[in-house]
Amino acid sequence: MKIIVNRIIVKATCPYCGCLCDDVEVTLEDGEIYSIKNACPLGRMKINSATSNVRNLKYLIKSGNDKIEVTVDEAVEETANLLLSADKPILYGWSNTSCEAQRLGLKIAKILRGVWDNTTSVCHGTAAIATAESGIPSATLGEVKNRADLIIYWGSNPLEAHPRHFKRYSYYSKGRFVSNNARRKMIVIDVRETSAARLADKFIQVKPNSDYKVISTLHHIIKFGEPPERKAAEVNINDLMEAAKLIKEAKFGVVFFGLGLTMTGYGYCNLDALYSLIRELNRFSKWVTIPMRGHYNVTGANIVASYMTGFPFAVDFSTGKPYYNPGETTIIDLLYHNECDLLMSVAADPLGTLPGEVVSKTIGMKIIAQDPFPTPTTEAADIVLPTLICGVETGGTAYRMDGVPIPLKPILKSRLNLLSDEELLKKILERISWRR
């Protein structure tokens, strides 16, 4: 008997982290995943999740202590009912879905006079604030790959969070003008010796929450050639002097920063100080900085919100106009101060990721959860809206961590009878617009 197998190779973009690796190859055999090339274990896990049994499969509405299965139209109708009856709904998440879905979410929030926030408020929000104040001296990952001879990772361990970052864009990549890593140098600055730190030419250990002082001291050393009188006591000054020498010798340098800088100590002042240091370094040679964004389209969420409202996250429409004031309008602020009466989560898990003190405020609140996978948020939700996995089962647009837009194409045709985030939100928007 001759068995005929229909085997095709699909060129894909990995929808897991902010690297958005667009050189992934997935071999499909009779429509099922046979092999995945060029993806790291995190990316493979995400792509393989399309065939996982751990999925949200049914549209569910809470009835008493149970959840009952309903049709998609009934689920949309009930979602519209809850959203329209809320005084101040917050629509949160958006970093694991397409820009097209993010746009629709913003339109819904505007009609409802609610709040639209994305996960930036609990990751790189401080960098977004500093960028709005002074601008960010940045570049694309392609420029870094082709030109950077000194790479600094500050408060970030790419080997664990962005496993292909080294190889595709930085230390191990082959650039046009920097052909191999023998010519690149790397400095890692962190509170602990990470796996990336063990590979670095220079590892500088800093005490937790001291980054602002360390950046300021380094800035002084670079500018005046010696440490200031009131230098940071939380770091070895000789280490900083050696780092300053490497920095001054570089022709093209980059600082990649992660949550170890954005969510510690002096918050946005860390980033303000870093951007100021980068501007100083540009007096000697070319220097740029790029955030190490986690969720694959959190950068897109910031860009879409910025071009639609002027603000990158935490946008409050309750006065009819976009209003932005982190410290007052992020999900943390609003839940903590009991200022919202409905939470709609899209492609996120706020109940599994926000601080317990904030999560406890959602008890008794109406929750709508739109997600391909079961999470603590879908578990607690009054309405569960399952969707296809964006970037695996459906397409769209996403922005890489350096702000470059990358198209997402569906890798395989889902066997599930579900809608994409975009299709579902379009239905909800139509229903709300029609009833308003």
Question: Which CB, 14 or 392, lies closer to ligand SF4?
Answer: 14
Are 185 and 151 contacting, i.e. CB atoms less than 8 angstroms apart?
A: yes
3-state helix, strand, coil in the chain (%, to 5): 40, 20, 40
User: What is the radius of gyration, based on Cα positions, of the chain?
Assistant: 23
Stretch that binds ligand SF4, among 159-167, 297-305, 316-324, 330-338 (CB under 6 A): 159-167
Q: Which of 256, 243, 254 is nearest to 286 (CA)?
A: 254
Task: Report the SS3 class of residue 84.
Answer: helix
Q: Which H helix or E strand runs over 201?
A: none
Q: Which of 305, 387, 367, 298 is nearest to 110 (CA)?
A: 305
CB of 140 to ligand SF4, least distance (A): 16
Are 49 and 36 contacting, i.e. CB atoms less than 8 angstroms apart?
A: no
Residue 298 touching ligand SF4 (CB under 6 A)? no
Q: Classify strands 315-316 and 115-118 as parallel, antiparallel or unpaired.
A: antiparallel
* x/- track of binding to ligand SF4 for residues 33-52 (CB under 6 A): ------xx-xx---------
Question: Which CB, 21 or 61, lies closer to ligand SF4?
Answer: 21
Residue 258 touching ligand SF4 (CB under 6 A)? no
Question: Which CB, 75 or 408, lies closer to ligand SF4?
Answer: 408
Question: Which CB, 14 or 200, lies closer to ligand SF4?
Answer: 14
206 backbone dihedrals φ, ψ, rounded to 5°: -120, 155
Question: Which CB, 22 or 234, lies closer to ligand SF4?
Answer: 22
Residue of 164, 202, 231, 293 that binds ligand SF4 (CB under 6 A):
164
CB of 38 to ligand SF4, least distance (A): 7
Give the angle subtended at the CA of 16 by the CAs of 15 and 21, to the nearest 5°.
Answer: 65
CB of 45 to ligand SF4, least distance (A): 8
CB of 360 to ligand SF4, least distance (A): 32
CB of 160 to ligand SF4, least distance (A): 11
Residue 19 touching ligand SF4 (CB under 6 A)? yes
Terminal Cα distance for the chain, rounded: 63
Number of other residues whose CB lies within 10 A of the CB of residue 336:
15
Residue 196 touching ligand SF4 (CB under 6 A)? no
CB of 194 to ligand SF4, least distance (A): 16
Residue of 12, 16, 324, 428 that binds ligand SF4 (CB under 6 A):
16
Question: Which CB, 37 or 415, lies closer to ligand SF4?
Answer: 37
Are 291 and 270 contacting, i.e. CB atoms less than 8 angstroms apart?
A: no
CB of 169 to ligand SF4, least distance (A): 10
Residue 163 touching ligand SF4 (CB under 6 A)? yes
Stretch that binds ligand SF4, among 157-165, 231-239, 277-285, 373-381 (CB under 6 A): 157-165
Q: Which H helix or E strand runs over 95?
A: none
* x/- track of binding to ligand SF4 for residues 106-145 (CB under 6 A): ----------------------------------------
Number of other residues whose CB lies within 10 A of the CB of residue 253:
27
* Separation of alpha carbons 306 and 304, rounded Å: 5
Number of residues that bind ligand SF4 (CB under 6 A): 13
Residue 20 touching ligand SF4 (CB under 6 A)? yes
Q: What per-residue string of b and e applies to 61-90 under the rule 16 or more CB within 10 Å gives b?
A: bbeeeebeebebeebbbbbbebbeebebbb
Are 268 and 67 contacting, i.e. CB atoms less than 8 angstroms apart?
A: no
Question: Which CB, 171 or 311, lies closer to ligand SF4?
Answer: 171
Binding interface with ligand SF4 (CB under 6 A) = 14, 16-17, 19-21, 39-40, 42-43, 162-164
